[in-house]
Amino acid sequence: MDLSNLTIHQINDLLKYREVKSADITNSYIERIKKIDPVISAYLYTDFEEALSNAEAADKIIQKNKDFPYLTGIPLSIKDIFLIKGKKTTCASKILNNFISPYDATVIKRLKKNNYVFIGKTNMDEFAMGSSTENSAYKITKNPFDLNRVPGGSSGGSAASVSADLCAGSFGTDTGGSVRQPASLCGVVGLKPTYGLISRYGIIAFSSSLDQAGVIANDVLDAAIMLKAVAGFDEKDQTTRKFEIKDYPEIVKRADKSIIKGLRVGIPVEFFSEGLDSKIHSKIMEIKDLLKDLGAQVVNITLPDTKYSVAAYYVIATSEASSNLERYDGIRFGGRFNEGKGIQSLDELYRKSRESGFGKEVKRRIILGTFALSAGYYDAYYKKASLVRKLIIKNYKDSFNDVDIILGPTSPTPAFLIGEKISDPLSMYLSDIYTISVNLAYLPALSLPAGVVDNPTKKGGVLPIGLQLISPWTTEAKLLSVAKVIEDEVKFRDKYTPVI
């Protein structure tokens, strides 16, 4: 049996019935990472010693107890934006090249309580700014379906690590699509929960009013398992709420076709206009027909202010980023230029440390955000963008009076070629056109593999495409259940596998 091609729930079954040990599972991932990751570059670093010692500890727990948490002994990868005590966290930036995390992020604390196996930190766009992982200061991650293409971003290493079976699941973050878009491009499931459902404590901040941790998984049940393990109020993050945490895995297991009967599904006309790849368009329409056949009431809806979402996002996200990234100055946080040697003044130290430590895209955003917040421009940009955000929230609220769930594409195109968009930031920004408004409205959304399209640059090759389901605040249980029913019909994992 190939032990590195299993879902979390399959591994959990094997562990429960003592058919394998976590150490066996972990070893098979380690072997695969050694063989495959030099080609994919999903990981910024791995920690096999830690992985094996976590696995042994998990095996002891499994031996003693019948009831152990779902993630016990499961090897997971972590985006290099989460702090893990005593380990390096770089956020794929040179400025944090030597930063050792002084404490655990709440997500990590909870994973440790669940006896997970930490296998490594994944590559990402620097400070989570990007949609292709090409903005990493360290390496370029390849899409497991075509090594000439990007895995998406910013959690591209996480999505590639799951897609290429280099771990059983991964935690990422989603500020404007960074979990859903790479999941879509790599043929895996990506869930961004309601803002405030998962603690942001110990996650390096990009845009605090938009950032949310998310999960990248092989299937919907795995996503439910991962969400359940980390969700919930945290006194260290005052933006988390005391939401009821449902038993998502049990709810997903019970989900069947009957839940689609009478379900009101909204198709936003704005998500199917120019810019959307025609093959993706028809694939999503197939899913729409499928839902109709299963008894859903499908209606067209309108989210009229969607057209302003990218503009509003890039004002709000860059403004918050300019403030959040102020702390990397070579004194409080971040590497000091030339260790301070030959520097004449404090100002010069700040300037040189930031100039040499940050990459091009990060600098672009700091400058944009600083401008948008500056006296005289604040009302025209930040305030206006905040008002647009209110309109977008209202668009969704109005729609959810009429429908239970919204269906559309995750990304306007399948995975693009490495280098294709990197010199054109605007076209890169547009790859998040369907995901960004969800963050602005604090909503939960999930990207599910919907099928594939032919790869135009590789004869016989295919590229995954993702559908996006968006549901009202805190309705993750419904979101996951509907996704599960579609997943059972599409059977993506049975049909398509990456090229390596």
User: In the complex, which residues of this chain contact ligand GLN (CB under 6 A)?
Assistant: 128-131, 154, 174-178, 206, 317, 432
Sign of CA dihedral 149, 152, 153, 156: negative
CB 211 → ligand GLN: shortest distance, Å?
7
Separation between Cα atoms, residue 195 and residue 43, nearest integer Å: 27
Q: How far is the CB of 28 from ligand GLN (least distance, A)?
A: 31
Q: In whole angstroms, give the CA distance from residue 117 to residue 57.
A: 9
| 239: its two tokens | 């933006």
**Taking the complex as a whole, how short is the minimal distance between the CB of residue 468 and ligand GLN, in angstroms?**
14
Catalytic residue list contains 307: no
d(CA 315, CA 349): 28
Catalytic annotation, pick one of 170, 178, 207, 353: 178
How far apart are CB 257 and ligand GLN at their closest, in Å? 33
DSSP strand pairing (264-268 vs 405-409): parallel
* Closest CB 488 distance from ligand GLN, rounded Å: 29
Residues linked to residue 60 through DSSP beta bridges, in sequence order: none
| Residue 178 is among the residues annotated as catalytic for this protein | yes
Residues near 481 by Cβ (< 8 Å), separated by ≥ 6? 251, 252, 254, 255, 259
Q: Report the residue number, 193 or 330, with the smaller CB distance to ligand GLN.
A: 193
Q: Are the CB atoms for 392 and 437 separated by under 8 Å? A: yes
- Please, which residue, 129 or 284, has the CB nearer to ligand GLN? 129
Catalytic: which of 41, 93, 154, 207? Answer: 154
Is 446 within 8 Å of 180 (Cβ atoms)? yes
d(CA 12, CA 6): 10
* Closer residue to ligand GLN (CB): 174 or 270: 174
Catalytic site residue 184?
no
3 state SS of 465: strand
How far, in Å, are 30, 160, 481 from residue 80 at the CA level?
19, 14, 30
- Closer residue to ligand GLN, CB minimum distance, 101 or 173: 173
**Listed residue (245, 243, 205) closest to 226, CA to CA:** 245
Q: Which of 21, 22, 79, 101 is catalytic?
A: 79
The residues carrying an active-site annotation are 79, 154, 178
